[in-house]
Structure 1
Amino acid sequence: MGTTGFDAGELATLLDGRWAGIRKQVRDALDGVPLQPGDDLDTESHRAQTLEQLRLLAKSGITDLGFPVAYGGRGDTGGAVVSLEMLAGNLSLMVKAGVQWGLFGGAVVALGTERHHERYLRDIISLDLPGCFAMTETGHGSDVQHLRTTATYDAATQEFVVHTPHEAARKEYIGNAARDGRLAVVFAQLITGDKSHGVHALLVPIRDEAGQALPGVRIEDCGRKAGLNGVDNGRLTFDQVRIPREALLNRYADVDPDGTYRSPIASQSKRFFTMLGTLIRGRISVAGTAGSATKLALEIALRYGDARRQFERPGTGRETVVLDYLAHQRKLLPALAKTFALHFAQEELVSTLHDAPGGEREQRELESRAAGLKAMSTWHATQTIQTCREACGGAGYLAENQLAQLKADTDVFTTFEGDNTVLLQLVAKGLLTNYKDQFDDLGTLGMAKFVADQFVGAVIERTATRSLVQRIIDGSGKDDILDRGWQLKLFDDRERHVLDGLGRRLRKANRENAFEVFNNAQDHVLRAARVHVDRIVLEAFVAAIERCRDRRTAALLNKLCDLYVLSNIEADSGWFLEHERITPRRSKAITEAINALCGQLRPHAVDLVTAFGLPRQWLTAPIATGAEARRQEAQHAQHAHETS
C-alpha cells in the first residue's frame, strides 16, 4: 500500500491490463539499450541512428509479436500494438518500427498468402528486408478508393506493369522510402484487359541490396519535417515497372496466367473495404502511441508542478508549489482524467482487435471504434502536450525538457493513418446505418447508397460493458451530478438526441441533393461522432473501475472518472443548457464540483501518472527527474541563509 492512500501496485496492474506480461517484457528489453532520441542531430545522422536503433529492436525479441508462429512470430496481435506504444519516448523510432513491422509487415501478413509469407516474413521480422507501405498519393490521401497508380496485367509476359500516370498519382510521404526501404507494398488500380478491378496491393522492389533505386523507380526525399526527422519519408514514382504476377498480394483476389481475374468477393466496393479493414492495426497503434506520449508529457508537467515554487504564501515564509494553485490543477488534472479514460477505451479496442471479430458487422464495428478513438486520442495528445508546455513555463520550451519535441513529433498524428475529421465522418456514417430503413425510398443513388453501401456497421455495443452500464443506470434513479447512473444516462441521452436530429436532417435528402444535404450537415455529423466516442470512453472507464479489487484504489478512480465526466459536461455546457438537460444552477454546481475534485486528486497526481509505467529511460527532462527541484531547493536555502 502506498503512502498516498491507494494501492499503487493494484493500480499499475489494472493499467497494464491484459498485456501486463508484454509491457513488462518491453520495459525489461529496453532497459539499458541505447535508444535515446536523436533530435539534436542533422537529418542524415538522425536517420542513420534510428535505423541502427531499429536493428537493436529487431534483436530484442519484441518485434516478432504480431507475426504468425509458423514464420518465426508469436501470433500476438494485441501484444504487438501494446509493444509499439511503449516506444513513445523516441517517436521517430516508434514510427519507423510501425512502418516496418506494422504497416509493411502487417500488409504482407493480412493481404498476402503462403507464398508471400514463406518468402518474406522471416526477413521482415529480422530487418534483413526493410520495406515501406505506399498508399497515399499526392492527389489522394483520405480517398484511397480512387488512387490513380495503375497495375496493368500483361498476359504475354505474365507480369504487372506498375505505373504513375501523372504527378498527382505519385506516392507521397512514404516512411522508409527516402533512404532505407528495399521493397514496397504498393496500392494501385488493378487492370486486366480493359477492366479495372479497383485498388489492390502488390509487392514492388524499389532498391537493390546496395541501396540503389531500381530501373523505372524514381525516389525523392520529402526533406526535413516539423518532427519525426529520424524517419526517412520519401516520394515514389513508377515508370512502367514490371513485376511478376506472383507479386500481387492475393488473399482476396488473384489473376490467372491468362489474365482472368478471380475474387471470392463479388462487389468491388465490398472487396476494397474488406482489404482495407485488415490493415486497421496501424490506426489503433497510432491511438495507443498518442496516449503514451500524452502520459509522458503529463508526467513531466505534474512532476515539475509538484516541485516548482512561485509566490510566497502569507505567513509561511515559503513560496507555494504551483500544483497547489487551482488554476494549475485545472490545466492538468482534467487532462489526466481523460487520459485514464482513453487508456481503458484503448485497452478494450486492442482486445477486440486481438480477438479477431469474425463477422462482417463486427469488423465494421471495430473499424468505426478504431477511427473514433484514433481521432479523439490524437486530438487529446495535441491539446494536452501544449497545455503541459504552457504549465511548465519557459522550462517547458527548452529542448532538454522533452515537451517541445513531443509537440513536434505528435502533431502529424492528427492527420496520418486517417485525417481525424474524415475518421469522425466514418464513425457517424456507421452510426447512421441504424437509419437506413428510413432512407430506402431514396434508391441506390441517394443516402441509402451513401451510407448503407459504404459502411455496413451499426452502433457499437460491447455486450458485457453495456449490460454493466444498464445495470448501473437502472439501479440508480438519482439525479446527483456525482451519481454514476445519472452520468451514464446523460451521455447516452446526448448521443441519442444528436443522432436522432442528424437522422431527421438527412431524411430530407433525395436523388438530386443527397451530397448537398450531407455536406451541409457536417457539423452535426462530427458532433454525433464525438458524443458517441465520449459515451463509449466513459463506459470503458466504468468497466475498468468494476475490475479494480482494492476499495481505496477504486474510490480514487471513481473521482478521476467524475472529473472526466464533469469536465466533458462543462466543456459542452452550451448544448446541455440549450437542450434543457441541465439547469443554470446545476451548471454552476458542476464547475464547483470540478474544483473540489481537482483539490482532492492533487495529492495523488504524480503517483497516478507514474502508475502508467512508462519505461523510465524515456523520462529524461531535468524538470521531471528531480534535478530542477534540487536546484530550486538549493536556491531557497541560499536565500534563507542570506536573509537570516
Structure 2
Amino acid sequence: MSSGSPAVSISRAGTDAAAHPDLLRLVYAGSFHKLHDEPRQAMLDSIFDPRENLTAAQACDLAYERADHLRKRLAIPADIAHDPLRLFAITEWACLLDGTTQAVLSIHYAVCLGSILAHGRERTDLTDHLEALGSMRSVGLYLATELGYGNNVVALETEAVYDHATGEFILRTPRPQAQKFMPNTVPGAFPKLAVVMARLKVAGTDEGVFPFIVRISDRDGPRPGIRVRSLPEKPGLSLDNGLTSFDDVRLPRRALLSGAIGTLRPDGVFEATVRGRQSRFLRAIEPIATGRVVLTAALLACARAAVFVAVRYACQRRTFAPGRQDVPIIEYRSHQRELFGALATAYVMTSLVNETKRQFTAPHKEPGEHRLDDLIAVAKAVATWSASDVIHTCRERCGAQGMFSVNRIADYVGIAQGVVTAEGDNVVILTKAATHLMQRSSGASSAPGQGDLLDPYYLLDLLAHRETSLRNDTSSRFGNRMVHEDTRFDAWNQVVNPVLDFARTHGARISLQWFLRDIETLSEDASVRQALRRLAVLYGLMEIHREAGWFLARGAVTASQVTSLPALIDQTCADILPDAVMLAEGFGITNDVLRTAIADDYVAYFA
C-alpha cells in the first residue's frame, strides 16, 4: 500500500465531467457526435427513469413502450438495418437502461425487418408488412431455434408444404421437438409479425430452410392454428419468450422470402439459383450477422458502464488503512488489480468490436486474415465473454451496492447471460470460426526472445507466438487423429478444446493489436496515449499471467519473468491509478444517463 497523500484525485467523482476528446474518439471510433449523442440524449427522457417493483409482465410491457418511444423520438426508419452503425449506436445506449428494450429493438430491426428487406426488398406485395413494422403497429419477431434444434438450425423440422392447388403454404410443427423455442411470441399490447424459418417442401422435395412471413398475433391474441405458451421467467431479462407451434397454418404465396436464393414459379416448380440446401440456408440467415454485432456492441457498452460506475464508487467508498486515516478503496492494490483489469479489458475489447463494425460496414471487403463471418463470431465470443467477466468483477467490487438494480450492474449480469447464448452460443460459433482460421497457413513459430514485459509490443509478440504454436500443434494433432479414429467427429472431438484455446488466444491477440493501433492514431495529448498504453500493458500482462505455465514450458519466457508478473501487474496498476477516473469517464457515459446511486454521492442518495 502506498504511503503519503492519495495518489488519485476524487473531487470529480460526484460530477459528470466531460470525457477527454481523445478517449471519446477512440471509444466511439470518431462517431460520438454524429451517431451516439442523439440516442444518449434520448436516454434522459422520463420514460427511462428507474421503475421499482414491476412484475415481469409489467417490465416487458414497459420495454415495448420504450422501444416504440425511441422509434418516434429518433425517427428510426424501417430499413435502419441498412444503416447498421446508427442501429448499433441506438441499441448500445438503450441497453444501458433496459436490456429488454435493446432485445426488442435488435429482433425487430436487425433480424426481422433485416430479413424481409434482404430477401424481399423489391417486392411491392410486402408493403403492408413493412408499413406495419416500420410504424410498430406490429412488433417484428424472428423464429428459428427449435426445442430440439438450437445451434443446429439447419436441421430444424418446422415445415412449410406448398399446396399448388390453392397457391398456399401449409405451416406445421411435425412433433414436439420442432416447437419454436425462445422467440418473444407471447401475445401482448402489440400485435406480432414474424419471420419464421421453416423447411420448404415443394412437390415432395425438401428444398431447404427458408424464411416465411407469418402473422403470430393480433390484438385478440394468437392467430388461428398458432399455439403459444410462456416460458419460465429469466432473472435480469423480462422479454416475453414463448414456445410456439403451428397446426397447419395456411400462408399466402407471398409469405415465402426466397429472394435471390430461388423462385417458386407459377407452375408450382421451385427453381433454385443457389445450389445445395446448406448454401441456401446460409444465404437465408445472413441477416443474423447484424444481430450478432448488435448484441456484442450492446453488452460491451454495459461493461463500460459497469466500469464507470465501479471506478467512481471506488473513489468515494472509504475504508480503514493501517497507519493512515481511512482511504478510498481504490487505493488498495487488491481492488486496483481487479477493477483496472476490467478497465483495461473494456478498452481493449472496444477496439476489437469497433474494428468488427468497420469491416462489417465497409463497402468492399478488404483482404485480411479473416472472413467477415469468422471475425464477427470471434468478436461475439471473445468480447461478450470478456464483457461478462468485467460486469461480474464490477458487481463484486461494489459489494452490496452492486446488487441493487438502481446501480445497474446487477441487471447487466442478466443481460450478459442472455447475450453469450443468443444469436449463436459462443462456444459453438467460436469453434466454427476456429476451423476456418486453423486452415490458414502459418510458418514455424519461434519465441520472440527475452524482452521487456512492460513493452506492450513484446506482450503482443508473446500472444502471437502462442497463437501460432497452438494452431500448428493442433493441426498436426488433428491430422494424426484422423489416421487412428473411426470418424472425423472422433478425431475432431480429441482436439476441440485446444482449438478453442487457439481461437481465444487469436481473439486476445487481434484485440490488443488493434487497441495499440488505435492508440497510435491519437494525436492531441501524449499523456492520454501513455495512460492507454498502460492499459495495454496491463491487459497483456494479465493474458500472459493466465497462461504463464504454457509460456514457461515452451521456453518463451524465463522463470524469473514468470515470478515477476504479479509485481509488474501491481506496479502497472499503481501507474494507472492517477488516470483511473479520466479513463473511466472517457467512455462518454454520465450518471445523468445512468441515474445510479453510487456513481455520484451515494451517501447523499441514501440520506
Q: Which amino acid aligns with 2:111?
A: L
Q: Which amino acid aligns with 1:120?
A: H
Equivalent pair of 1:182/1:211 in contact (CA under 8 Å) = no
Provide the rounded CA distance (Å) in 2 between the counterparts of 1:601 and 1:26.
31
- Please list the CA deviations of residues 16-55 of structure 1 after superposition, one character each: whole Å capped at 9, or x if unmatched: 2143211112122333342235463012221222221122
Find out whether 1:78 has 2:92 as its counterpart.
no
Larger deviation: 251-260 or 361-370?
361-370
Normalising by structure 2, report the TM-score. 0.90
- Please list the CA deviations of residues 407-444 of structure 1 after superposition, one character each: whole Å capped at 9, or x if unmatched: 12321211111111112101211112336xxxxxxxxx
Q: Which amino acid aligns with 1:514?
A: R
Find out whether 1:99 has 2:107 as its counterpart.
yes
Aligned counterpart, 2:25? 13
Correspondence list, 1:431-510, <5 A: 431-434=437-440, 479-508=451-480, 509=482
Find out whether 1:548 has 2:556 as its counterpart.
no
Q: Secondary structure at the match of 1:625?
A: coil
Larger deviation: 133-142 or 597-606?
597-606
TM superposition shift of 1:573: 1.0
Correspondence list, 1:487-636, <5 A: 487-508=459-480, 509=482, 512-550=486-524, 551-614=526-589, 616-628=591-603, 630=604
**Correspondence for 1:48 among 58, 61, 77:** 61
Q: Secondary structure at the match of 1:34?
A: helix
Q: Which amino acid aligns with 2:112?
A: F
Provide the rounded CA distance (Å) in 1 between the counterparts of 2:302 and 2:486.
46
Aligned counterpart, 2:116? 108
TM superposition shift of 1:403: 2.4
Aligned counterpart, 1:637? none
Equivalent pair of 2:545/2:562 in contact (CA under 8 Å) = yes
Aligned counterpart, 2:6? none
- Please list the CA deviations of residues 105-139 of structure 1 after superposition, one character each: whole Å capped at 9, or x if unmatched: 11212232321663433432321221210011100
Aligned counterpart, 1:150? 159
Equivalent pair of 2:141/2:194 in contact (CA under 8 Å) = yes
Task: Give the 3 Å change call, closer, same or farther, for CA 119–358 of structure 1 in structure 2.
Answer: farther
Correspondence list, 1:53-68, <5 A: 53-61=66-74, 63-64=76-77, 67-68=78-79
Q: Secondary structure at the match of 1:206?
A: strand
Provide the rounded CA distance (Å) in 2 between the counterparts of 1:118 and 1:139.
34
- Please list the CA deviations of residues 570-603 of structure 1 after superposition, one character each: whole Å capped at 9, or x if unmatched: 1111211121111111112332221111011112
Provide the rounded CA distance (Å) in 2 between the counterparts of 1:411 and 1:129.
28
TM superposition shift of 1:62: 5.3
Q: Secondary structure at the match of 1:418?
A: coil
Q: Which amino acid aligns with 1:606?
A: V
- Please list the CA deviations of residues 423-477 of structure 1 after superposition, one character each: whole Å capped at 9, or x if unmatched: 2101211112336xxxxxxxxxxxxxxxxxxxxxxx9xxxxxxxxxxxxx9xx99
**Correspondence for 1:25 among 38, 41, 47:** 38
Provide the rounded CA distance (Å) in 1 between the counterparts of 2:473 and 2:492.
13
Larger deviation: 108-117 or 255-264?
108-117
Equivalent pair of 1:15/1:612 in contact (CA under 8 Å) = yes
Equivalent pair of 2:110/2:287 in contact (CA under 8 Å) = no
Q: Which amino acid aligns with 2:267?
A: D
Q: Secondary structure at the match of 1:319?
A: strand
Aligned counterpart, 1:439? none
Provide the rounded CA distance (Å) in 1 between the counterparts of 2:560 and 2:469.
22
Provide the rounded CA distance (Å) in 1 between the counterparts of 2:374 and 2:186.
30
**Correspondence for 1:427 among 402, 424, 433:** 433
**Correspondence for 2:198 among 174, 188, 191:** 188
Correspondence list, 1:288-327, <5 A: 288-314=297-323, 316=324, 318-327=325-334
Provide the rounded CA distance (Å) in 2 between the counterparts of 1:488 and 1:47.
44
Find out whether 1:88 has 2:92 as its counterpart.
no
Equivalent pair of 2:44/2:593 in contact (CA under 8 Å) = no
Q: Which amino acid aligns with 1:522?
A: V
Task: Give the 3 Å change call, closer, same or farther, for CA 211–346 of structure 1 in structure 2.
Answer: farther
TM superposition shift of 1:358: 5.1
Find out whether 1:370 has 2:376 as its counterpart.
yes
Q: Which amino acid aligns with 1:26?
A: P
Aligned counterpart, 2:243? 235
Q: Secondary structure at the match of 2:171?
A: strand
Correspondence list, 1:405-416, <5 A: 405-416=411-422
Provide the rounded CA distance (Å) in 2 between the counterparts of 1:375 and 1:626.
36
TM superposition shift of 1:96: 1.2
Aligned counterpart, 1:207? 217
Provide the rounded CA distance (Å) in 1 between the counterparts of 2:51 and 2:356.
32
TM superposition shift of 1:277: 3.0
Normalising by structure 1, report the TM-score. 0.85
TM superposition shift of 1:176: 4.7
Provide the rounded CA distance (Å) in 1 between the counterparts of 2:474 and 2:556.
18
Provide the rounded CA distance (Å) in 1 between the counterparts of 2:605 and 2:592.
22
| 5+ long unaligned stretches in structure 1 | 436-458, 460-472, 635-644
Q: Which amino acid aligns with 2:554?
A: H
Equivalent pair of 2:25/2:31 in contact (CA under 8 Å) = no
Provide the rounded CA distance (Å) in 2 between the counterparts of 1:524 and 1:559.
30
Provide the rounded CA distance (Å) in 1 between the counterparts of 2:439 and 2:166.
46
Task: Give the 3 Å change call, closer, same or farther, for CA 631–93 of structure 1 in structure 2.
Answer: closer
Aligned counterpart, 1:383? 389
Q: Which amino acid aligns with 1:164?
A: T
- Please list the CA deviations of residues 202-230 of structure 1 after superposition, one character each: whole Å capped at 9, or x if unmatched: 0011123x23211111111114222211x
Q: Which amino acid aligns with 2:45?
A: G
TM superposition shift of 1:610: 1.5
Task: Give the 3 Å change call, closer, same or farther, for CA 363–97 of structure 1 in structure 2.
Answer: farther
Over the aligned positions, Cα root-mean-square deviation in angstroms equals: 2.6
Q: How many residues align?
A: 581
Provide the rounded CA distance (Å) in 2 between the counterparts of 1:547 and 1:281.
27
Larger deviation: 42-51 or 396-405?
396-405
Q: Secondary structure at the match of 1:24?
A: helix
Larger deviation: 163-172 or 21-30?
21-30
**Correspondence for 1:168 among 173, 177, 193:** 177
Provide the rounded CA distance (Å) in 1 between the counterparts of 2:212 and 2:286.
17
- Please list the CA deviations of residues 160-213 of structure 1 after superposition, one character each: whole Å capped at 9, or x if unmatched: 1111001100001102544345211000111111211111100011123x2321
Task: Give the 3 Å change call, closer, same or farther, for CA 622–539 of structure 1 in structure 2.
Answer: same
Provide the rounded CA distance (Å) in 2 between the counterparts of 1:353 and 1:62.
24
Aligned counterpart, 1:257? 266
Comparing both chains, which one has the higher relative contact order based on Cα–Cα distances under 8 Å and sequence gaps of 6 or more?
A: 2
Q: Secondary structure at the match of 2:330?
A: helix
